[in-house]
Structure 1
Amino acid sequence: MPGLSTATNGRILFGGDYNPEQWPEETWHEDVRLMKDAAVNSVTLGVFSWSKLEPTAGAREFGWLDRLMDLMHEHGIGVVLATPTSSPPPWMGHLHPDTLPVDQDGRTEWWGGRQHFSHSSATYRRYAAAVTEDLAARYGGHPALTMWHINNEYCTYDWSDEAAARFRRWLQGRYGTLDALNEAWGTAFWSQGYGDWAEIHTPRHAHYLKNPSQVLDFRRFTSDMLLECYTAERDIVRRATPHTPVTSNFMPLWAGQDAWRWAAEEDVVSVDLYPDPRDPAGAQHGALVQDMTRSQARGPWMLMEQAAGPVNWRGVNHPKPRGLNRLWSLQAVARGADAVCYFQWRQSRQGAEKFHSGMVSHAGEEGRTYQEVKQLGADLAKISGRVTDRHTVNDIAILHDWHAWWASSQDGRLSAHVDHPAVLHAWHRALWESHLTTDFAHPEHDLGGYKLVVVPQLYLLTDAAVDNLLAYVRGGGTLVSGFLTGVADEDDRVRPGGMDPRLRDLFGIRTLHEWWPLEPGEPAECDGFRGTLWSEEIEKTEEAVAEASYKGGELDGLPAVLRKGRAWYVSTLPEPESLRALLARIAAGAGAAPVLDGLPGQVEAVRRGDLLFLLNHGREAVTVEVPGSHRDLLTDAEVSDEITLGRHGVAVLTP
């Protein structure tokens, strides 16, 4: 199948969502002039254009899009053409109420915003297929077309009657019989046994706690229904243009899609990324999302959306300080992006996102935002030929699984303060701050190429995943796991003894007596550090070594950090500095080393192919030791043994 390299043609794609239907046509030529000045070589058209393309049911108005496609081609700008199906026109909901989603309280979600479609609606799917067929037929042979973009940020939940009917069919396909479903859902509890498929509904609002296995399956079903919508449109454009790659943009670390499964269905994996410029951990959040997206793509990926300045959906929407847009964009390139794009090209004057920044802000051509965009375009042009389609090899993999996240985040758990994404961020941050670069992997992936595998938390593990972890350690790998891992099977059934017995044996745990969650701000004192959030009453086997023990309280003297051979178990969440030191120690013992030694704390070093990216996330200049002779591709300057990076400065060094 075609990949991102088919669209890039040796260049880094640079541009963003272009919504010219919001502007008078005379503005289009001015846009093209500004695009060329900024070295923009790619725009995404049509994302929210359904009512413009199909103003009434069955009508088609393509003339405006014809002129735009021709205009882009005339000026050498490629088009990522979107299907407009994320935002149906008002006439659809008016004529066909069955296309509208229903929330868990049974209330209809009306048009007037976006994503107001039921993924299960046969009517919606029919209209979506029809407009996609006509787009593919009309523009499949257009020379400006470089990629297809299906829908936008799939994120719709639906508890409607039509979704319930599809849910029942999905469950019949998964379980076959009601006996098997009742067993998987544990319906003997609270008299929930089902005697007829018609009795099963989507898990709407209930008087008290919902059945967690039903909710888990509803999460799986929702991801699968959205994926069906994507693949239906993807298959239409593939038939028309088999050599043109297809993508749909993920939201970063969003709970609604099993992105491992989705990525396998995409030619190009793309993501939207909006770290808060005021967040001290914003750069690390970006690195995590970039690492995860690169790992899903198993190679180069596309930064589909970012903000050139402020967004409009936080409580307070701060602009990006000078240089931060360039820094974070080049961070994405360092971590595998072959496309750096924005929402959107020109900042809107009306609508819900008129205060969301664009590459051309309300300040226009002379504004700082556009001037910084121009500089970034020039920088990307300098490195394009040296970086595109190059891969990064890392020694460390972090394991993540959406099913484990879904199962661990339901009501009725031991601590509402244990948040799966927050724990994941804490462990990734500890490695990132130690200058250790990482991939992400699914727990059933082949892990044999990694020196260290890190499991921040995987509450749910399949039998295949457990077997995979055991095989990895038996094969000589080093494994370190956080608390609440391997507790449940794929039906959210608690494993015997509160943790899979095979994992207990792997880590040297004789008995896991009790879980001891901690209140916010309540520490668990341990040898040499403080634990937070969680603790566990563990009795170890004779073969295991307590690398740290609890001090005081009910767990006094019991192991907090346990090691048996190359398998480590951390039963609490150490404070950030302590977790960083622990993981750095384990990584060193496994033979995983930072890209460069002696890096200042605010400097990130990443290798992509034979290029070394140095990124200064601080606001002060800093000098970095880089032994040997190099050339900085951004400045064309020769570098010997050290380089000074200014505020938010970046260097891309050749060997």
Structure 2
Amino acid sequence: MPNLSDVTGRRILYGGDYNPEQWPEETWPEDIRLMKAAGVNSATLGVFSWSRLEPRPGVHDFAWLDRLMDLLHEAGIGVVLATPTASPPPWLGHLHPDTLPRDADGRTEWWGGRQHFSHSSTVYRRHAAAITEALAARYASHPALTLWHINNEYCTYDHGDEAATRFRRWLQDRYGTLDALNTAWGTAFWSQGYGDWAEVAPPRHAHYLRNPSQVLDFRRFTSDMLLECYTAERDIVRRHTPHIPVTTNFMPLWSGQDAWRWAEEEDVVSVDLYPDPRDPFGAQEGALVQDLTRSQARGPWMLMEQAAGAVNWRGVNHPKPRGLNRLWSLQAVARGADAVCYFQWRQSWQGAEKFHSGMVGHAGEHGRTHQEVVQLGADLARLGPHVAGGTVGAEIAVLHDWHAWWAADQEARPSTRVDHADVLRAWHRALWQGGLTTDFAHPEDDLTPYGVVVVPQLYALTDAAVDNLLAHVRGGGTLVCGFLTGVADMDDRIRPGGMDARLRELFGIRTLHEWWPLDADESADCDGFRGTLWSEEIEPDGTASETIPYQGGELDGLPAVLRKGSAWYLSTLPEPDALRDLLARVAADAGARPVLDALPADVEAVRRGDLLFLLHHGRDPVTVDVPGTHRELLTDTVVTDRVTLGRYGVAVLRDPEPAS
């Protein structure tokens, strides 16, 4: 199959969503001029153009898109051509109300926004296939076409009647019989036993708590239905252009898709990334999403969307301070991106996103935002030949699984304060602050490339995943596991003893007596640190080689942390500095080292291929020790032993070529 390197070669793709249909045609040549000046080499067309491309059923208007494809090609700018199926035209919903999704309360989601389609609607799927077929047939041989972009940010849920019919069919394929379904869903509870498939429905509004296993399966079903929509369109464009890679854009750390499975169906893995410029952990959020996306791609990946300045959907939408857009873009490159793109090229002057920034903002080409876009284009042009296609090495794997997330993220839990994504962020942040580069992996993946495997939290695990963790430790690897892991199976059935017995033996736990969740104003004192969010009443079996006890309170003297050989279990969430120090110690003992020792605060170091990226996330100048002589690629200068980074500064270092 084609991949991203077939598009990029020895360069980094640079550009973004281009929505010229929102502007008078006389604007288009000006856009092309500004793109060329900014070093843009890629433009995404058609993402939200369905009503322009097909103003009435079966009536197509491609003339404007023909002109744009030709204009961009003449300018040397490649086109990422999108299927416009994320935003159906009003005529589709008007003529076919069954194509509109319904929420759990039975309310219809109408046109006037976007993503107003039922993934289960036969009529929607037929019309989506038809417009995709028309686009693919018309532009298959156009020389501007470099990549297909299917739909956009798949994220719809549907509880309507056609979705219910498909849900029943999906369940029949999964379980075969109603007896098996009743067993998997635990329907003996609350008299929920099903005697006819017609009785089974999506988890709609209920008087009280809904069946958690039913909700879990509905999330699996939704991910699968959306994936069917994606693969149907992908297969159409592949038939016309088997040499052109295909992608669709993930949202960052979003719970709605099993992105491990989705990534296997993409030629190029891409993501949209919008950290809050005011978030003190914005850079770490970016690093987490970048590491996860690179791991899904198993190599270079595409930053499909980011904001050049402010977004429009937060309560208060702050712009990016001077230099931050460049810094975060180059952070993505450091962590494996071979494409840096935006939503969008020109900031809209009307519509719901007119306050969402663009590469050309309302201030025009002389605005600060656009001037920084031009600078970044020059930086990426310099780096492309040196970095494109390069790999990012990691000795540590963080395990993550969407099914475990779905199972954990339910009603009636011991603590609503325990959020799977937040726990994942806390552990990744500790590793990131320790200068440790991480991959992500599925719990059933081959873990032999990693000396250290970290499990922040995997509430539900398959038997195969548990065996995989045990095999990693028995093979000499180190495992560090957080609380609420291995509690349930994949039907959300609690394991006997409250944790899988094999894991209890692995960590040296005889009995897990009680879970003791902590309120927002509570903490658990431990020997050397404070625990937050959670604690557990654990009785050890006497085989642990090291314990860190709770101090005071109901759990006084019981283990907060256990280590048995190279397997660690944390029954609480240590405060941030303590978690960072503990994971750094574990990593060092296992031979996993930071990229650079003794980095100044706010400086991130990442190696990609033979390049060292230094990224300064602070405003005050700092000096970083880099023993030896290096060539700094962004300025094409030689630095020896140290480099100074200014406000949001970046340096990309490579050992100079030996003299010939």
TM-score range, shorter chain: over 0.9
8 Å CA contact 1:16, 1:304 repeated in 2: yes
- 1:426 corresponds to: 426
Match of 2:539 in 1: 539
| Displacement of 1:20 | 0.1
Q: CA offsets, 1:387-411, max 9 Å, x none?
A: 0011111000000000011010100
- 1:330 equivalent in alignment to 2:321: no
- Asked if structure 2 preserves the Cα contact closer than 8 Å seen for 1:275 and 1:282, the reply is yes
Amino acid at match of 1:35: M
Secondary structure class of the residue paired with 1:534: coil
- 2:239 corresponds in structure 1 to 239
8 A Cα contact 1:546 1:560, kept in partner: no
**Alignment deviations for residues 416-445 of structure 1 (CA, whole Å, 9 cap, x no partner):** 000011100000000000111100000000
1:29 partnered with 2:29: yes
Matches within 5 A, 1:106-125: 106-125=106-125
Structure-1 separation of matches of 2:504 and 2:496: 10
CA distance in 1, matches of 2:149, 2:183: 41
- Residue 256 of structure 2: aligned partner: 256
Helix, strand or coil at the partner of 1:547: strand
1:621 partnered with 2:621: yes
Counterpart mapping for 1:130-279 below 5 A:
130-279=130-279
Equivalent residue for 1:608? Answer: 608
**Aligned mates of 1:140, 1:549 — CA distance in 2:** 65
- Aligned-partner SS, 1:389: coil
Q: Which residue of 1 aligns with 2:84?
A: 84
Distance of 2:89 and 2:395 partners within structure 1: 49
Alignment partner, residue 13 of structure 2? 13
Question: 2: CA distance between counterparts of 1:10 and 1:112?
Answer: 42
Per-residue CA distance 1:160-190 (angstroms, 9 max, x = gap):
0000000000000000000000000000010
**Superposed CA offset, 1:450-505 (max 9, x none):** 01000000000000100100011111100000000000001000001000000001
Residue equivalent to 2:518: 518
Partner letter of residue 292 of structure 2?
A: M
Secondary structure of the residue aligned to 1:233 is: helix
- Once the two structures are superposed, residues 90-147 of structure 1 have per-residue CA deviations (whole angstroms, 9 ceiling, x without a partner) of 0000000000000000011100000000000000000000000010000011000000
1:162-561 correspondence runs (5 A): 162-561=162-561
Residues 271-295 of structure 1 show CA distances to partners (whole Å, capped at 9, x for unaligned) of: 0000000000000000000000000
Give the equivalent residue in structure 2 for 1:633: 633
Q: Deviations over 1:498-543 (max 9, x none)?
A: 0000000111101101100011120100000000110000011121
Q: 1:639 corresponds to which letter in structure 2? A: V
- C-alpha contact (below 8 Å) 2:455/2:481 kept by paired residues: yes
Residues 596-626 of structure 1, C-alpha deviations (whole Å, 9 max, x = no match):
1110121000000000000000011100000
Which residue identity lines up with residue 412 of structure 1 in the other structure? Answer: A
Counterpart code for 1:392: V
Q: Check whether the contact 1:546–1:559 (CA below 8 A) recurs between aligned residues.
A: no
Aligned AA (2:148): W
How far apart, CA to CA, are the structure 2 residues paired with 1:590 and 1:520? 34
CA distance in 2 between partners of 1:617 and 1:416 (Å): 32
Deviation of residue 545 (structure 1)? Answer: 3.2
In 2, Cα distance between equivalents of 1:405 and 1:215? 12
Equivalent in the alignment of 1:129: 129
Provide the rounded CA distance (Å) in 2 between the counterparts of 1:315 and 1:274.
Answer: 14
Give the Cα–Cα distance (whole angstroms) in 1 for the partners of residues 565 and 54 of structure 2: 64
* 1:71 counterpart SS class: helix
Q: Which residue of 2 aligns with 1:566?
A: 566
**Deviations 1:557-584, CA, capped at 9 Å, x for gaps:** 0000001110000000000011111111
Q: Could you tell me which amino acid in structure 1 is paired with residue 45 of structure 2?
A: L
1:30-71 deviations in whole A, cap 9, x for unaligned? 000000000000000000000000001111000000000000
Quote how far apart the aligned CAs of 1:586 are.
0.6
How far the C-alpha of 1:547 sits from its partner, in A, is: 2.6
Cα distance per residue 1:310-351 (max 9 Å; x no partner): 000000000000000000000000000000000000000000
The one-letter code sitting in structure 1 at the alignment partner of 2:269 is V
TM-score (structure 1 length as normaliser) = 1.00
SS at structure 2 position matched to 1:410? coil
Measured in 2, the distance between the counterparts of 1:449 and 1:267 equals 24
Q: Does structure 1 conserve the Cα–Cα contact (< 8 Å) formed by 2:546 and 2:562?
A: yes
> Which amino acid counterpart does residue 219 of structure 1 have in structure 2?
R
Equivalents in 1 of 2:546, 2:599: separation in Å? 32
- Letter of the structure 2 residue corresponding to residue 522 of structure 1: E
Q: Normalising by structure 2, what TM-score?
A: 0.99
Whether contact under 8 Å (1:630, 1:654) holds in the other structure is yes
SS in structure 2 at match of 1:479: strand
Distance 1:610 1:540 in 2: 46
Match of 1:97 in 2: 97
How many residues are paired up? Answer: 655
Match of 2:590 in 1: 590
One-letter code of the match for 1:165? T
Describe the SS at the equivalent of 2:516.
strand
3-state SS, counterpart of residue 179 of structure 2: helix
Q: Name the SS of the counterpart of 2:146 in structure 1.
A: strand
In 2, the alpha carbon distance for the partners of 1:121 and 1:587 equals 50
CA distance in 1, matches of 2:24, 2:337: 33
Secondary structure at 2:531 match in 1: strand
Q: Distance in 1 between matches of 2:10 and 2:94?
A: 47
Q: Is the 8 A contact 1:521 1:532 kept in 2?
A: no
Percent of aligned positions with the same letter in both sequences? 80
Structure 1, gaps ≥5 residues long? none
**Conservation of the 8 A alpha-carbon contact between 2:393 and 2:437:** no
Amino acid at match of 1:123: V
1:9: Cα distance to partner? Answer: 2.1
- TM-fit CA distance, 1:546: 4.1
| Equivalent AA in structure 2 for residue 525 of structure 1 | D
SS at match of 2:598: coil
CA distance in 2, matches of 1:541, 1:610: 47
| 2:658 corresponds to | none
Helix, strand or coil for the counterpart of 2:535? strand
For 1:6 and 1:86, the matched residues in 2 are separated by 26
Please state whether the residue corresponding to 1:286 is helix, strand or coil: helix
1:594 and 1:419 mapped to 2: Cα distance?
Answer: 28
SS at match of 1:313: coil
Q: Which amino acid aligns with 1:421?
A: A
Amino acid at match of 1:146: T
AA partner of residue 151 (structure 2): N
* SS at 1:203 equivalent: coil
